[in-house]
């Protein structure tokens, strides 16, 4: 019986201990076969470290590890050579400080390689190690999670910027060492950070949004079918669900990541965790949510604008630590992905959205809890009562619980400073209400077009449909707009009751001021 390599990042460990290995060696071959310099950005737990480890073994490890894999027939084309490997994920920079942590890591590498150091200072020592390792032939340099000392401090600009300067000095050595390098691969989360840190590396090929490398990490559907098909059949039996239904549910929860808008892959950590337990859960999200994201979202934009946002491809190369653009950060960290692409090059237009149900539900629940200033368990109690009210077609109870939710929102939660115009207050109430409805786990649609306009929200439930209009003003005008514009007309033939609900919000009390409703059918 083979085991699932959950959290395993060492190629040798996986191959020697009979863990399932999804064969990605063709990609390793493409990176190793010729002299080249690469950069790859992917979210955490997406296989970057395993790719680095595969290359390390390919250049210097046991060739028997590759028996039976795609690359076995091409091993003669890959020359063994010295390897410099460093992972910033393992450095103790939080305890020691980044400069001292890098210095210790370089000394450890020198000791392991039998190198007597004659210089001092990070750039000099790094350059000396490269030169001495490459005494006989050009070497492979593999740098994993290069930006972690920055990402970990995005909530602390001075420290993040100080770490960036130290890293820039470290990486500057690579520019003058090109004659000593056969293969250079640098991985990380943030492709946008590379602009300021790697400004001297003109020949560094960025694979992050390269269409030819869109499936270099993650599992394609074909790979899932080939390596895990039998296990999925077992799980379908355990859940007493048809195979097609369980397959679709797995896809909705853990697939959906794309770096070209055409090819989509599964999150390896989430999928393997699900296959191991047979239970649907939010595995990847629970391994750590950057709290700085919630802070920046609250400061920069409203929650409902996270789905379907359109950006230029070139926007991902614009990075200012002191004024983060939250959309590129969310894309790089895996909370948004490319849904479609139009055009080519840096001027291509990309439509972004949540990759799957795991990320969308978990992130929105986390965001809602932060807005409400309450722990998720308390928010979930309110969510439960709101959902029951909608199921029971009880508008009075729904409004009561909605008022209770807004009453609990901290006073300092509002549109960002300088953006508190009436229309932005209305957008704020729209967004927060819509976010709350989404967390209910229902089919919620915003800005639904009809023949005469767009309704603010439509909630489609098994036993009924709710059509809602939210205004900074009176509920009477909101309900009248639903009727006048015929927002409910497309749903009158659905064979179930339709509830019309107009809500009036007051920016002074920051709550629902009035509510009017009417049942049709």
Which tokens hold the place of 363? 């992130």
Query: Are 273 and 392 contained in the same domain?
Result: no
Length of the chain: 521
Tell me the three state secondary structure of residue 435: helix
**Using CA atoms, how far apart are residues 347 and 261, in angstroms rounded to an integer?**
15
Mean pLDDT, to the nearest integer, of 256-284?
95
CATH number of the domain within which 84 lies: 3.40.50
> In this predicted model, which residue has the larger pLDDT, 200 or 342?
342
Dihedral Cα 7, 13, 15, 18, nearest 10 deg: -70
pLDDT of 42 reads 95
Query: Are 225 and 207 contained in the same domain?
Result: no
Q: Which of 184, 213, 242 is the last residue of a domain?
A: 213
Weakest-pLDDT range from 118-127, 130-139, 227-236, 467-476 = 467-476
240, pLDDT greater than 50 = yes
Weakest-pLDDT range from 13-27, 90-104, 275-289, 370-384 = 370-384
Asked if residue 39 is part of any domain, the answer here is: yes
Mean pLDDT, to the nearest integer, of 365-389?
79
pLDDT of 411 reads 57
| Whole-number percent of the chain with pLDDT over 90 | 63
Kindly indicate the confidence band of residue 151, based on its pLDDT and cuts at 50, 70 and 90: confident
- Between the alpha carbon of residue 513 and those of residues 10, 385, 400, 472, 508, the distances in Å are 58, 20, 11, 9, 10
Asked if residue 4 is part of any domain, the answer here is: no
Residue 513 is given by DSSP the state E
195, pLDDT greater than 70 = no
Query: Are 330 and 440 contained in the same domain?
Result: no
Query: Are 195 and 224 contained in the same domain?
Result: no
pLDDT of 155 reads 81
Mean pLDDT, to the nearest integer, of 447-460?
74
> In this predicted model, which residue has the larger pLDDT, 374 or 368?
368
| Whole-number percent of the chain with pLDDT over 70 | 89
pLDDT of 194 reads 60
Burial of 305: CB neighbours in 10 Å, binned 0-12, 13-18, 19+:
middle
65, pLDDT greater than 90 = yes
Query: Are 283 and 313 contained in the same domain?
Result: yes
Model-level pTM greater than 0.85? yes
Weakest-pLDDT range from 92-101, 234-243, 278-287, 482-491 = 278-287
**Using CA atoms, how far apart are residues 412 and 409, in angstroms rounded to an integer?**
8
Query: Are 134 and 235 contained in the same domain?
Result: no
Mean pLDDT, to the nearest integer, of 222-232?
97
Kindly indicate the confidence band of residue 98, based on its pLDDT and cuts at 50, 70 and 90: very high
Asked if residue 479 is part of any domain, the answer here is: yes
Asked if residue 295 is part of any domain, the answer here is: yes
Q: Which of 329, 360, 391 is the last residue of a domain?
A: 360
Query: Are 163 and 110 contained in the same domain?
Result: yes
Mean pLDDT, to the nearest integer, of 456-467?
92
CATH number of the domain within which 436 lies: 3.40.1350
Number of domains into which the chain is organized? 3
pLDDT of 372 reads 72
Per-residue pLDDT tens digits for 197-216: 777 777 789 999 999 999 99
Query: Are 353 and 395 contained in the same domain?
Result: no
Tell me the three state secondary structure of residue 493: coil
| Average pLDDT score over the chain | 88
Kindly indicate the confidence band of residue 288, based on its pLDDT and cuts at 50, 70 and 90: low
498, pLDDT greater than 80 = yes
The pair phi, psi for residue 167, each rounded to 5°, is: -65, -40
pLDDT of 416 reads 47
What are the helix (H) ranges across 411-452? 422-439
Query: Are 346 and 245 contained in the same domain?
Result: yes
pLDDT of 308 reads 85
pLDDT of 377 reads 66
Q: Which of 198, 213, 228 is the last residue of a domain?
A: 213
Per-residue pLDDT tens digits for 392-411: 999 999 999 999 888 877 75
193, pLDDT greater than 80 = no
Query: Are 356 and 393 contained in the same domain?
Result: no
Q: 235: number of CA atoms within 13 Å, CB side?
A: 22
Asked if residue 178 is part of any domain, the answer here is: yes
Query: Are 197 and 238 contained in the same domain?
Result: no
Q: Residue 419 belongs to what domain range? A: 373-520
pLDDT of 346 reads 79
Q: Which helix (H) or strand (E) holds 109?
A: helix 98-113
Please say whether the beta carbons of 147 and 187 come within 8 A.
no
Beta strand 83-87 with 139-144: parallel, antiparallel or unpaired? parallel
Asked if residue 6 is part of any domain, the answer here is: no
Query: Are 317 and 286 contained in the same domain?
Result: yes
Which tokens hold the place of 348? 């291509």
Asked if residue 266 is part of any domain, the answer here is: yes
Asked if residue 5 is part of any domain, the answer here is: no
> In this predicted model, which residue has the larger pLDDT, 348 or 129?
129
Weakest-pLDDT range from 292-301, 449-458, 495-504 = 292-301
Tell me the three state secondary structure of residue 135: coil
Q: Is the dihedral of CA 278, 290, 39, 10 positive or negative?
A: negative
């Amino acid at each position: 019986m083979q085991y699932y390599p959950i959290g395993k990042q060492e190629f040798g460990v996986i191959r020697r201990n009979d863990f399932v290995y999804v064969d990605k060696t063709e990609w390793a071959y493409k990176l190793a076969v010729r002299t080249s310099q690469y950069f790859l950005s992917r979210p955490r737990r997406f296989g970057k470290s395993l790719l680095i480890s595969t290359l390390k073994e390919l250049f210097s490890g046991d060739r028997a590890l590759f028996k039976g894999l795609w690359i076995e027939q091409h091993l003669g084309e890959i020359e063994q050579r010295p390897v410099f490997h460093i992972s910033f994920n393992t450095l103790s920079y939080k305890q020691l400080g980044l400069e001292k942590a890098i210095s210790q890591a370089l000394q450890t590498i020198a000791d392991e390689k039998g190198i007597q150091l004659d210089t001092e200072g990070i750039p000099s020592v790094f350059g000396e190690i490269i030169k001495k390792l490459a005494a006989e032939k050009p070497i492979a340099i593999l740098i994993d999670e290069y930006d972690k000392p920055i990402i970990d401090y995005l909530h602390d600009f001075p420290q993040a910027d100080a770490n960036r300067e130290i890293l820039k000095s470290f990486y500057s050595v690579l520019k003058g060492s090109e004659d000593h390098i056969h293969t250079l691969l640098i991985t990380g989360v943030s492709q946008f950070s590379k602009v300021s840190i790697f400004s001297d590396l003109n020949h560094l090929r960025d694979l992050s949004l390269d269409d030819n490398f869109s499936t270099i990490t993650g599992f394609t559907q074909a790979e899932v079918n080939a390596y895990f098909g039998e296990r999925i059949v077992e799980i379908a039996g355990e859940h007493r669900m048809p195979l097609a239904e369980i397959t679709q549910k797995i896809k909705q929860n853990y697939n959906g990541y794309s770096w070209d808008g055409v090819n989509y892959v599964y999150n390896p950590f989430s999928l393997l965790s699900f296959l191991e337990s047979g239970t649907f859960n939010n595995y990847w999200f629970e391994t750590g949510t950057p709290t700085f994201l919630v802070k920046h979202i609250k400061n920069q934009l409203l929650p409902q604008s996270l789905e379907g946002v359109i950006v230029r491809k070139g926007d991902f190369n614009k990075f200012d630590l002191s004024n983060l653009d939250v959309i590129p950060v969310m894309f790089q960290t895996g909370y948004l992905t490319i849904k479609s692409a139009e055009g080519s090059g840096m001027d291509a237009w990309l439509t972004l959205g949540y990759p799957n149900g795991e990320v969308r539900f978990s992130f929105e629940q986390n965001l809602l809890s932060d807005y409400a200033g309450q722990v998720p368990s308390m928010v979930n109690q309110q969510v439960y009562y709101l959902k029951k009210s909608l199921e029971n077609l009880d508008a009075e109870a729904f409004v009561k619980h909605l008022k209770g939710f807004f009453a609990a929102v901290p006073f300092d939660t509002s549109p960002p400073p300088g953006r508190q115009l009436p229309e932005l207050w209305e957008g704020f109430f729209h967004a927060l209400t819509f976010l709350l409805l989404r967390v209910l786990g229902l089919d919620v649609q915003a800005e639904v077009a009809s023949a005469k306009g767009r309704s603010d929200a439509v909630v489609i439930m098994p036993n009924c449909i709710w059509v809602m209009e939210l205004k900074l003003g009176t509920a009477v005008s909101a309900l009248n707009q639903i009727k006048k514009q015929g927002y409910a007309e497309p749903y009158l033939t659905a064979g179930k009751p339709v509830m019309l609900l107009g809500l009036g919000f007051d920016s002074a009390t920051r709550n629902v001021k009035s509510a009017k409703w009417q049942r049709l059918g």
